Structure formats: structure tokens, C-alpha cells
Amino acid sequence: MNGKERMLGAIHGGRTDGIPVTPHWWGVYKFRQAGVCSGPADEGKGWALSGQALADVDAFFYEKFKPDMFHLSAGAWKKQPGDESRMLARKELGGAVRELASKRAIDEYVSAVYPDEAEIEASGIYDHVSILSRQYGHEALILLNEGNPVCEVFENGGPAGDFQDALVATLEHPENLAYLIWRLHDPALARMRVLKRKGAHGYIGSETCVSCDILSPGTLRAQVFPAQRRFYAEVAKMGLIPVVYYLGEILPILDDITTLGADALMIEEQKKGYSLDAVDIHRRLGGRMALFGNLDSVYGLLYGNARQIKAETQRQCACSEGGGFIMSCGSPLCHDTPEENIRIMVNTARDDAQSCR
């Protein structure tokens, strides 16, 4: 089996000839590895790349560590003719949306502010996907990771206002906030159609601000999950593998997450006082969806020693006996992560596959 076959086998719940493994390499680590930037102070140089230049960065990381999956970010947006009019519409219509008093205002905002498929394609944000798909699509799974619409709703300066405004809206305007979240998935689906045409095998949606350390399970079920179920179902219909990356506490809503229509789940490390144990979560999932591991990117890969990294990798890989497990780390690789630590995780999962089972 090659990496692509291993990943597909695990995602679809089957047994493989080894445990698929990939670092969580969305983010700036790959830019530093490729010599594009030296650290956080100039990481903007990496985010300014698109097309062949960005494909070269991702290919450099892949060739160095040989993971089973490409974990891609979007490229830089090339200016489009409609950009200025959309920015103006955002200013003119944003106030009415922030009040969340009218579904009509939300419809007008979404129609005027977001680009159509032709503009998305012309922007070049997924051009590197086509290049990598042609070069590596036969041997590795190619997935792109972006923040989903809920991120935009709750971020400062988003259509619902600042973070605290959005939180208040879950109580004061629950129906219209749910409608805003629903409608914002329409332009996201337009991006997915372009992504599919560019040759991606799947999509990872980062779901931030919708975990149980921020919102109650009841709020999530009423205002967020309906839109997410529709989104991931449509992604699957397009022929993309849907993967959901839930950040934060998820145990009280784990059963709900299995109903979203995603084939696999990514989770963070344990933090903020709650426990996210990959072995326990894999058991609780019971084969309903595949799980990516969550070796700690800070205290494991960045600061951990070889013995600690190998032991935790083996502990997590042991749950793969029934299939449906991909070894990974919980959040993106930190800037100064030693290359050798990444190789220890990759090689332990791959070379010790039989002993881990």
C-alpha cells in the first residue's frame, strides 16, 4: 500500500498494512523548512505565496518527511475585479447584519459580499492543489484545511460583530444567528466546488468557537449543527472526503459530531483543564468515523524527548487494531520543532505498526 491507499483504508474504517501517519502540517512550519521565512516575525512571506511557489513549499516538506497525506492551506488571493465592490458592500450592509433583526439583511449581505465560483477560481488560492495533485495525487492523499463559516461568525469584526457580540446573539437572536451560520455555508460550498475541480481528494473544516468550553451543547444543536450537517453532506456529494477538525472540548457532543456526515475527526491536544484522550475517543467513536491522533505539538514534539514521543505514539497507535485511526499531532507544528522529533513520530507509527496493533 502507498500513503494514499493507507489513508483511504483508515478513513473508510478498514484495516491497512500499516498505520497511516501525518503531522499536522497546516501552518508556518513548512515555510520555515523551505527557507521562505525565519520565524513568526516574517511569516507573512509564506502566506503571500500561491501557485507553483506554494506547491514547491508543500512538496519540500513532503519529500523531507514522507507523510501519507498533504495537509494544505489556501494560497494568497490574487486581486479580482469585484473585490472593491464587495468590500464596500461589507461596510454598507454589515451594520444591518450585526443587528440580526432580519433574514433579508443577511441574504443581501451574503449575496453582495462573497465571490462567485469564477472569481474564486481566478483568484489562484487553490492553484497549488492542481500542481500537487498531478505530481503526488497517485501516492498521497491531498486534503486542504480552512476555517469554516462559524469561525467567521465568531471572530472579532465578523458579520455578527465581535466575539462577545456573537456570544450574546446566541441568546438574544438565536434564530437569526442560526440563519446567518446557515447562509454563510453557501459561499463555502462554492469554494469546495472549485477545490474539487482543482484535484483535491478531500477537505478539512476547522470548527473553532463551537466547542463545549464556549457554547452549550443545546446551543450547538439548535444553532450550529444543522448548517454543518448540510455542509459536510454536500461536500461528500461532490466527491470530496469530508474531515472535521473540532477545536476545544468535544466529549459532551461527540455523538452529535458523528452525525455531521464527516468521514474523519481531528482533535486538539488536552488543554484548558479538559481531557481529550485519543485512545478513549477512538473507543467511543466505535467505528462511526475515523480519528486522527493528537500527540501534543508543544510538550510532545517541540519539547519532548525521543522516549516520550515514541511511547505516546505507540500508545495511541495501539487503538488502531480495529482500523479507523491515523497517527497525527493535535495542532500545527511549532516553529522550532526538531526535525528528528517529527521523524520519530512518523517512523514509530510506520515501522512499529505490527507491535502497535
Question: What pLDDT tens digit does each residue of the chain (357 aa) get?
Answer: 999 999 999 999 777 888 999 999 999 999 999 999 998 899 999 999 999 999 999 999 999 999 999 999 999 999 999 999 999 999 999 999 999 999 999 999 999 999 999 999 999 999 999 999 999 999 999 999 999 999 999 988 899 999 999 999 999 999 999 999 999 999 999 999 999 999 999 999 999 988 999 999 999 999 999 999 999 999 999 999 999 999 999 999 999 999 999 999 999 998 878 899 999 999 999 999 999 999 999 999 999 999 999 999 999 999 887 789 999 999 999 999 999 999 999 999 998 655 444
3-state secondary structure of 242: strand
User: Residue 85 corresponds to which cell in the numbers above?
Assistant: 465592490
3-state secondary structure of 74: coil
Nearest residue to 242 (alpha-carbon basis) of 144, 140, 128, 325: 144
Residue whose grid cell is 495533485: 133
Q: How many CB atoms lie within 10 A of CB 350?
A: 20
Q: Where are the domains of the chain?
A: 3-80+117-158+167-356, 83-114
Which CATH number does 3-80+117-158+167-356 carry?
Answer: 3.20.20.210
Nearest residue to 291 (alpha-carbon basis) of 328, 335, 344: 328
> What is the number of alpha carbons within 13 Å of residue 224 lying toward its C-beta?
29
